[in-house]
Amino acid sequence: MAFVGQDVYFRICSLARPAGGLEPTFVDFRTGARESVLLAALERLDPDVVLVFRPEIVPHGLFGSLRAMTIGYLTEPLPRKRSARHRDLDERMAALRQVDPGNFDRIVSFDPLIASSAGRVLNVWRSLPIPLDDAIFMDVHERGQPPRLLFLGRPTEHREALLAPIKRSHRIVHIGHGLHGSPLMRFLASTDVQLNLHNHPYPTFENRVCLALAAGHLVISEPLSPDHGLRAGRDFLEAGDADTLLSFVDQVVRDPTAFLDVQRAGREQAERFRASRVYPPLIREALADVAEHGSPRQRS
Protein backbone atom coordinates (compact mmCIF):
# COMPACT_ATOMS: atom_id res chain seq x y z
CA MET A 1 0.00 0.00 0.00
CA ALA A 2 1.31 3.45 -0.95
CA PHE A 3 0.28 6.55 0.98
CA VAL A 4 0.71 9.76 -1.04
CA GLY A 5 0.73 13.29 0.35
CA GLN A 6 2.78 16.17 1.65
CA ASP A 7 5.24 14.68 4.12
CA VAL A 8 5.11 17.48 6.69
CA TYR A 9 1.35 17.10 7.15
CA PHE A 10 0.42 13.55 6.31
CA ARG A 11 3.22 11.12 7.08
CA ILE A 12 1.94 10.98 10.67
CA CYS A 13 -1.52 10.14 9.27
CA SER A 14 -0.26 7.09 7.40
CA LEU A 15 0.80 3.63 8.47
CA ALA A 16 4.56 3.42 9.08
CA ARG A 17 4.83 -0.30 9.83
CA PRO A 18 3.07 -3.38 8.44
CA ALA A 19 -0.30 -4.09 10.02
CA GLY A 20 -3.30 -6.26 9.22
CA GLY A 21 -1.81 -7.53 5.99
CA LEU A 22 -0.80 -4.08 4.71
CA GLU A 23 2.82 -3.36 3.73
CA PRO A 24 2.98 0.45 3.72
CA THR A 25 5.19 2.98 1.94
CA PHE A 26 4.88 6.79 2.05
CA VAL A 27 5.45 8.85 -1.11
CA ASP A 28 5.98 12.58 -0.61
CA PHE A 29 4.03 14.67 -3.14
CA ARG A 30 2.39 18.08 -3.16
CA THR A 31 0.58 20.45 -5.51
CA GLY A 32 2.88 21.62 -8.26
CA ALA A 33 5.46 18.86 -7.83
CA ARG A 34 6.60 16.94 -10.91
CA GLU A 35 3.89 14.42 -11.73
CA SER A 36 6.36 12.20 -13.58
CA VAL A 37 8.27 11.66 -10.32
CA LEU A 38 5.11 10.51 -8.52
CA LEU A 39 4.06 8.22 -11.35
CA ALA A 40 7.55 6.71 -11.60
CA ALA A 41 7.62 6.06 -7.86
CA LEU A 42 4.25 4.32 -7.94
CA GLU A 43 5.13 2.26 -10.99
CA ARG A 44 8.35 1.17 -9.28
CA LEU A 45 6.50 0.22 -6.08
CA ASP A 46 3.64 -1.42 -8.00
CA PRO A 47 1.27 -1.26 -4.99
CA ASP A 48 -2.09 -2.96 -4.74
CA VAL A 49 -3.60 0.12 -3.08
CA VAL A 50 -2.80 3.84 -3.33
CA LEU A 51 -4.30 6.29 -0.83
CA VAL A 52 -3.88 10.02 -1.54
CA PHE A 53 -4.34 12.66 1.12
CA ARG A 54 -5.95 15.67 -0.61
CA PRO A 55 -6.86 14.08 -3.99
CA GLU A 56 -6.89 17.54 -5.56
CA ILE A 57 -3.07 17.34 -5.74
CA VAL A 58 -3.16 14.56 -8.36
CA PRO A 59 -3.07 15.86 -11.97
CA HIS A 60 -5.93 14.96 -14.29
CA GLY A 61 -5.68 11.44 -15.68
CA LEU A 62 -2.42 10.58 -13.91
CA PHE A 63 -3.68 7.35 -12.34
CA GLY A 64 -5.25 5.95 -15.47
CA SER A 65 -2.44 3.46 -16.04
CA LEU A 66 -2.17 2.20 -12.45
CA ARG A 67 -3.44 -1.30 -11.72
CA ALA A 68 -3.83 -0.41 -8.02
CA MET A 69 -7.09 0.46 -6.33
CA THR A 70 -6.95 4.20 -5.61
CA ILE A 71 -8.54 6.05 -2.70
CA GLY A 72 -8.72 9.83 -2.30
CA TYR A 73 -8.92 11.11 1.29
CA LEU A 74 -10.59 14.54 1.66
CA THR A 75 -8.82 16.34 4.50
CA GLU A 76 -10.00 19.95 4.16
CA PRO A 77 -13.20 21.67 5.40
CA LEU A 78 -15.78 22.65 2.78
CA PRO A 79 -18.98 24.73 2.75
CA ARG A 80 -21.95 23.05 4.43
CA LYS A 81 -25.67 23.33 4.02
CA ARG A 82 -27.30 25.91 6.33
CA SER A 83 -23.87 27.07 7.51
CA ALA A 84 -22.36 30.54 7.30
CA ARG A 85 -20.27 31.11 4.19
CA HIS A 86 -16.61 32.00 4.45
CA ARG A 87 -14.10 32.94 1.75
CA ASP A 88 -11.68 30.31 3.05
CA LEU A 89 -14.29 27.57 2.50
CA ASP A 90 -15.08 28.88 -0.98
CA GLU A 91 -11.37 28.73 -1.87
CA ARG A 92 -11.13 25.13 -0.62
CA MET A 93 -14.21 24.22 -2.66
CA ALA A 94 -12.60 25.76 -5.74
CA ALA A 95 -9.52 23.61 -5.14
CA LEU A 96 -11.67 20.48 -4.81
CA ARG A 97 -13.25 21.18 -8.21
CA GLN A 98 -9.81 20.45 -9.69
CA VAL A 99 -10.09 16.77 -8.69
CA ASP A 100 -10.35 14.29 -11.53
CA PRO A 101 -12.91 11.69 -10.31
CA GLY A 102 -11.48 9.30 -12.88
CA ASN A 103 -8.28 9.05 -10.82
CA PHE A 104 -10.01 7.38 -7.87
CA ASP A 105 -11.97 4.23 -7.16
CA ARG A 106 -13.29 5.46 -3.83
CA ILE A 107 -13.37 8.73 -1.87
CA VAL A 108 -13.13 9.00 1.92
CA SER A 109 -13.87 12.23 3.81
CA PHE A 110 -12.68 13.33 7.24
CA ASP A 111 -16.09 14.97 7.81
CA PRO A 112 -19.50 13.48 6.93
CA LEU A 113 -21.06 16.96 6.98
CA ILE A 114 -19.21 18.03 3.82
CA ALA A 115 -20.31 15.00 1.80
CA SER A 116 -23.12 16.84 0.02
CA SER A 117 -20.82 19.71 -0.99
CA ALA A 118 -18.09 17.32 -2.10
CA GLY A 119 -20.75 15.35 -3.99
CA ARG A 120 -20.94 18.13 -6.57
CA VAL A 121 -17.52 16.94 -7.70
CA LEU A 122 -17.23 13.29 -6.59
CA ASN A 123 -19.08 10.72 -4.52
CA VAL A 124 -17.98 10.24 -0.90
CA TRP A 125 -17.94 6.55 0.00
CA ARG A 126 -16.99 6.72 3.70
CA SER A 127 -16.36 9.41 6.33
CA LEU A 128 -14.03 9.01 9.28
CA PRO A 129 -11.50 11.12 11.18
CA ILE A 130 -7.99 10.97 9.77
CA PRO A 131 -6.03 8.19 11.52
CA LEU A 132 -2.64 8.61 13.18
CA ASP A 133 0.47 6.50 12.95
CA ASP A 134 0.95 4.26 15.98
CA ALA A 135 4.26 5.99 16.80
CA ILE A 136 2.33 9.09 17.90
CA PHE A 137 0.59 7.30 20.75
CA MET A 138 1.97 8.00 24.22
CA ASP A 139 0.88 7.44 27.81
CA VAL A 140 -0.54 10.21 29.97
CA HIS A 141 2.39 11.50 31.99
CA GLU A 142 2.71 13.65 35.08
CA ARG A 143 2.25 17.31 34.22
CA GLY A 144 4.91 19.92 34.73
CA GLN A 145 4.48 22.71 37.26
CA PRO A 146 3.26 24.86 35.66
CA PRO A 147 1.87 22.60 32.92
CA ARG A 148 3.44 23.01 29.48
CA LEU A 149 0.99 24.52 26.97
CA LEU A 150 1.14 24.05 23.20
CA PHE A 151 -0.75 25.29 20.17
CA LEU A 152 0.04 24.01 16.67
CA GLY A 153 -1.40 26.02 13.80
CA ARG A 154 -0.71 28.94 11.52
CA PRO A 155 -1.64 32.38 12.85
CA THR A 156 -4.99 33.76 11.74
CA GLU A 157 -6.99 36.72 13.00
CA HIS A 158 -9.47 34.38 14.69
CA ARG A 159 -6.81 32.33 16.43
CA GLU A 160 -4.76 35.31 17.57
CA ALA A 161 -7.84 36.89 19.16
CA LEU A 162 -8.36 33.73 21.24
CA LEU A 163 -4.68 33.26 22.08
CA ALA A 164 -3.87 36.87 23.02
CA PRO A 165 -5.29 36.73 26.59
CA ILE A 166 -3.45 33.45 27.24
CA LYS A 167 -0.16 34.75 25.86
CA ARG A 168 -0.41 37.79 28.15
CA SER A 169 -0.91 35.63 31.24
CA HIS A 170 0.87 32.33 30.62
CA ARG A 171 3.78 30.79 28.83
CA ILE A 172 2.60 28.90 25.75
CA VAL A 173 4.53 27.50 22.80
CA HIS A 174 2.86 28.43 19.51
CA ILE A 175 4.27 26.72 16.41
CA GLY A 176 2.72 27.84 13.17
CA HIS A 177 4.12 25.46 10.57
CA GLY A 178 6.68 22.83 9.73
CA LEU A 179 6.94 20.79 12.93
CA HIS A 180 7.18 17.11 11.99
CA GLY A 181 9.32 14.03 12.45
CA SER A 182 11.58 13.81 15.50
CA PRO A 183 11.11 17.46 16.57
CA LEU A 184 7.34 16.92 16.64
CA MET A 185 7.71 13.81 18.76
CA ARG A 186 9.96 15.67 21.23
CA PHE A 187 7.45 18.51 21.56
CA LEU A 188 4.56 16.11 22.06
CA ALA A 189 6.48 14.18 24.71
CA SER A 190 7.22 17.39 26.63
CA THR A 191 3.71 18.89 26.44
CA ASP A 192 0.87 18.56 28.95
CA VAL A 193 -1.99 20.64 27.54
CA GLN A 194 -2.76 21.32 23.89
CA LEU A 195 -5.21 23.87 22.52
CA ASN A 196 -7.30 23.38 19.39
CA LEU A 197 -8.53 26.53 17.65
CA HIS A 198 -10.24 26.75 14.28
CA ASN A 199 -8.57 28.54 11.38
CA HIS A 200 -11.57 30.84 11.06
CA PRO A 201 -14.92 31.15 12.88
CA TYR A 202 -16.66 28.26 11.13
CA PRO A 203 -17.33 24.77 12.57
CA THR A 204 -15.06 21.84 11.75
CA PHE A 205 -13.04 18.99 13.27
CA GLU A 206 -9.25 19.27 13.20
CA ASN A 207 -6.96 16.26 13.14
CA ARG A 208 -4.94 18.20 15.70
CA VAL A 209 -7.47 17.00 18.30
CA CYS A 210 -6.72 13.35 17.52
CA LEU A 211 -2.99 14.11 17.60
CA ALA A 212 -3.17 15.72 21.04
CA LEU A 213 -5.35 12.98 22.53
CA ALA A 214 -3.06 10.27 21.14
CA ALA A 215 -0.07 12.01 22.72
CA GLY A 216 -1.83 11.87 26.09
CA HIS A 217 -2.46 15.61 26.37
CA LEU A 218 -5.38 17.40 27.97
CA VAL A 219 -7.23 19.04 25.06
CA ILE A 220 -8.97 22.40 25.33
CA SER A 221 -10.83 23.06 22.10
CA GLU A 222 -13.38 25.25 20.43
CA PRO A 223 -16.64 23.33 19.78
CA LEU A 224 -16.07 20.44 17.37
CA SER A 225 -18.37 19.73 14.44
CA PRO A 226 -18.71 16.85 13.92
CA ASP A 227 -17.50 15.59 17.29
CA HIS A 228 -16.69 12.07 15.98
CA GLY A 229 -17.89 10.61 19.27
CA LEU A 230 -15.73 12.81 21.51
CA ARG A 231 -17.67 14.11 24.49
CA ALA A 232 -17.19 17.71 25.61
CA GLY A 233 -16.49 17.82 29.34
CA ARG A 234 -15.58 14.13 29.44
CA ASP A 235 -12.93 13.55 26.74
CA PHE A 236 -11.88 17.17 26.17
CA LEU A 237 -12.70 20.63 27.50
CA GLU A 238 -14.88 22.78 25.25
CA ALA A 239 -14.32 26.54 25.16
CA GLY A 240 -16.74 28.57 23.07
CA ASP A 241 -15.06 31.93 23.62
CA ALA A 242 -11.81 33.56 24.74
CA ASP A 243 -12.93 34.00 28.36
CA THR A 244 -13.79 30.29 28.76
CA LEU A 245 -10.54 29.29 27.09
CA LEU A 246 -8.51 31.45 29.47
CA SER A 247 -10.52 30.22 32.46
CA PHE A 248 -9.66 26.59 31.68
CA VAL A 249 -5.99 27.44 31.25
CA ASP A 250 -6.02 29.38 34.53
CA GLN A 251 -7.50 26.37 36.34
CA VAL A 252 -4.93 23.97 34.96
CA VAL A 253 -2.05 26.30 35.82
CA ARG A 254 -3.34 26.79 39.39
CA ASP A 255 -3.90 23.07 39.89
CA PRO A 256 -1.73 20.78 37.73
CA THR A 257 -3.99 17.84 38.65
CA ALA A 258 -7.17 19.54 37.36
CA PHE A 259 -9.15 17.60 34.73
CA LEU A 260 -6.93 14.52 34.88
CA ASP A 261 -10.04 12.36 34.46
CA VAL A 262 -10.83 14.21 31.20
CA GLN A 263 -7.25 13.78 30.02
CA ARG A 264 -7.25 10.03 30.68
CA ALA A 265 -10.66 9.57 29.05
CA GLY A 266 -9.46 11.46 25.98
CA ARG A 267 -6.42 9.23 25.70
CA GLU A 268 -8.67 6.15 25.77
CA GLN A 269 -10.83 7.62 23.00
CA ALA A 270 -7.74 8.21 20.88
CA GLU A 271 -7.38 4.46 20.33
CA ARG A 272 -10.20 4.74 17.79
CA PHE A 273 -7.86 6.79 15.58
CA ARG A 274 -4.89 4.39 15.65
CA ALA A 275 -3.70 3.75 12.08
CA SER A 276 -3.05 0.04 12.57
CA ARG A 277 -6.67 -0.39 13.68
CA VAL A 278 -8.31 1.82 11.08
CA TYR A 279 -6.59 1.20 7.76
CA PRO A 280 -6.66 -2.62 7.46
CA PRO A 281 -10.48 -2.97 7.74
CA LEU A 282 -11.01 0.19 5.65
CA ILE A 283 -8.89 -1.18 2.81
CA ARG A 284 -10.54 -4.61 2.96
CA GLU A 285 -13.95 -2.93 2.76
CA ALA A 286 -12.89 -0.79 -0.17
CA LEU A 287 -11.45 -3.73 -2.11
CA ALA A 288 -14.63 -5.73 -1.55
CA ASP A 289 -16.84 -2.80 -2.52
CA VAL A 290 -14.95 -2.15 -5.75
CA ALA A 291 -15.04 -5.87 -6.60
CA GLU A 292 -18.81 -5.94 -6.07
CA HIS A 293 -19.93 -2.58 -7.43
CA GLY A 294 -17.15 -1.54 -9.78
CA SER A 295 -15.56 1.88 -10.07
CA PRO A 296 -15.95 5.14 -12.01
CA ARG A 297 -12.22 5.03 -12.67
CA GLN A 298 -11.10 4.18 -16.17
CA ARG A 299 -8.10 1.82 -16.33
CA SER A 300 -6.00 1.40 -19.41
CA dist., res. 111 & res. 210, Å (int):
14
Range from 185-189, 198-202, 219-223, 296-300 carrying the lowest mean pLDDT: 296-300
Mean pLDDT of the chain: 94
Mean pLDDT of 101-109: 95
Q: What percent of the chain has pLDDT over 70?
A: 98
pLDDT at 82: 66
Q: Say whether pLDDT at 300 is over 60.
A: no
Domains 2-133+274-293 and 138-273 share a fold: yes
Task: Please state the domain extents for the chain.
Answer: 2-133+274-293, 138-273
pTM of the entire predicted model: 0.94
CA dist., res. 140 & res. 142, Å (int):
7
CA dist., res. 191 & res. 299, Å (int):
48
Q: Say whether pLDDT at 62 is over 90.
A: yes
pLDDT at 178: 76
pLDDT at 83: 67
Read off the pLDDT band of 163 (50, 70, 90). Answer: very high
CATH architecture of 2-133+274-293: 3-Layer(aba) Sandwich (3.40)
Mean pLDDT of 206-230: 97
Range from 5-19, 84-98, 187-201 carrying the lowest mean pLDDT: 84-98
Read off the pLDDT of residues 18-33 as tens digits, 9 standing for 90 and up.
999 999 999 999 988 8
Read off the pLDDT of residues 118-152 as tens digits, 9 standing for 90 and up.
999 999 999 999 999 999 999 999 999 999 999 99
CA dist., res. 72 & res. 54, Å (int):
7
* ∠ Cα 199 35 94 (to 5°): 35
Mean pLDDT of 224-249: 97
Fold of 138-273: Rossmann fold (3.40.50)
DSSP codes joined into one string, 175-224? E-S---HHHHHHHHHT-SEEEE--SSSS----HHHHHHHHTT-EEEESPP
Mean pLDDT of 185-211: 94
Question: Long-range contacts for 205-210 (Cβ within 8 Å, ≥24 apart)?
Answer: 205/110, 205/111, 205/129, 206/153, 207/13, 207/75, 207/110, 207/129, 207/130, 207/132, 208/152, 208/153, 209/236, 210/129, 210/130, 210/131, 210/132, 210/270, 210/273
